[in-house]
Chains A and B, each alone.
Chain A
C-alpha cells in the first residue's frame, strides 16, 4: 500500500547513544517533514525537506540532523540522545511544498531515552 513507512515503531535508548529514525514514502512526494508529539503539546516541526538535497530547520531542530539523498527517504538522526528527546516522532510527506496539498503521516516511532 502506498504511504509513509516509519521504522522502528518503538525504541529505547540510553542517554548519549545515537540512532537514526527511518522514513520512506512511495508516493513520489517532494516534501517531507519530521514532527515530534509530546503530551499536551500537539505536534511540533523538527526539520523538513522540499526535495532531494534540500533540507531546512523547523520549530525545534536542536539535537536532530536530517539529510535527503533520495526523493523516497528522509531519515532523522539523533547524535547524542537526551531524556528530553523522549517523544513520539511522526514523518509526514506531501506532493509539493506548501501546506495546501495535505500531508500523509506515518504511524510514528515511539522513542524513550533513559
Chain B
C-alpha cells in the first residue's frame, strides 16, 4: 500500500525567509502527487500537482515543488513567505490502491508558523 511521510510536524519560519516542506512517498508506480493547504477552520485548497513531464511544478500563491523520483520526494518550496502562509500543509499521493478505491493518500501534515 502507498504511504506519504511528512517528517516535520511543525516548522517555524521568519517572514520573508525561504521555505521548504518535505514530503516522501511510497508508491508502486508513477504517482500523481499533490500539495494542499488548509487554513484554520477551512477545507483544503490545492496548491499544485504533478502528473508527468517537467519535474518542477509551479502552483498558486508563489509555491513550487520538485519531483525527484530517485529520492521518492516531492518537496514544496517558496522563496519568501508571508504571514498569510501560516497554515497546515498536506502532501498527497494517488490514486488510492486499497481495494480499487479512487482517492488520495495524505500525509499527516506540517504545521507552518510564521514569525514576524
Contact = CB atoms under 8 A, between A and B. Distances in A.
Interface in B78-116: 90, 92, 94-96, 98-104, 106-109
Contacts of A107: 41-43
Interface residues of A, number: 28
B49 A102 contact: yes
Most buried by A among B44, B92, B96: B44
Interface residues of B, number: 29
Contact of A99 (B4, B9, B32, B44): B32
Given A58-B96, A98-B95, A99-B32, A43 B90 contact: yes
Interface string A11-51: 00000000000000000000101010000111111001010
B108 A41 contact: yes
A45 B101 contact: yes
A90 interface: yes
